Amino acid sequence: MSYPPLLKLATAAEYRLHYENIYCRAPIVTFDDIAVRFRTRDFNHCFFESSRRDSTKDLFSAMRAERMDWITAALKDPNAELYCGWDKKRRRYDRSRRVAVVMGDYVVIIALTSPTTATFVTAFAADTPACAGRPSTIDQIRKGPKWT
């Protein structure tokens, strides 16, 4: 499947407007007929990062935002690698969360609300390398159970 080129806009406000116009007006339907809804409030969670590596997302990420149009392509890609999501609080895999991996390390996560509906959670390049005995982010995702 062909993926769109990187999105090059001038400001975070322009990226936000693009996100709201493309994603928040109507659901995106996946290759397997799941209608994914996007909320305007999720823009900050998806396209900002923490400058201090804590939980405060205070720094706009152009790298994440440039891949914004890949979200639709990933959701519609029947060749995406699909995995169960990880529930950090419960420390276990969660079959109501679906992780799609495309383009080698690009990740799109949705939360199913029914068999045919879901909400968008986040998207990012899983490019954190292995260090101090921990596997890389993409390796951690790929060691999890396949989503079925």
- The span from the CA of 83 to the CA of 100, in Å, is 7
Phi and psi angles of residue 47, each rounded to the nearest 5 degrees, phi first: -115, 10
Does residue 4 sit within a domain?
A: no
Pick from 68, 78, 79: nearest CA to 104: 79
Q: Which residue range forms the structural domain that includes residue 61?
A: 12-142
In which residue are the tokens 């396209």 written?
Answer: 47
Among residues of the chain, what percentage have pLDDT more than 70?
100
Query: How many domains are contained in the chain?
Result: 1
- Give the chain's length: 148
Q: Select the more confidently predicted residue: 131 or 105.
A: 105
Does residue 111 sit within a domain?
A: yes
| pTM (two decimals) | 0.92
Among residues of the chain, what percentage have pLDDT more than 90?
80
- The span from the CA of 112 to the CA of 120, in Å, is 9
Which amino acid, residue 32? Answer: D
Q: Is pLDDT at 52 greater than 90 in this prediction?
A: no
Does residue 2 sit within a domain?
A: no
pLDDT tens profile 57-77: 879 999 999 999 999 999 999
- The span from the CA of 107 to the CA of 100, in Å, is 6
Tokens of 45: 């969670």
Does residue 132 sit within a domain?
A: yes
Phi and psi angles of residue 70, each rounded to the nearest 5 degrees, phi first: -70, -20
Does residue 27 sit within a domain?
A: yes
With a CB cutoff of 8 Å and minimum separation 6, the contacts of 35 are 27, 28, 29, 116, 117, 118
Does residue 125 sit within a domain?
A: yes
Does residue 82 sit within a domain?
A: yes
Does residue 6 sit within a domain?
A: no
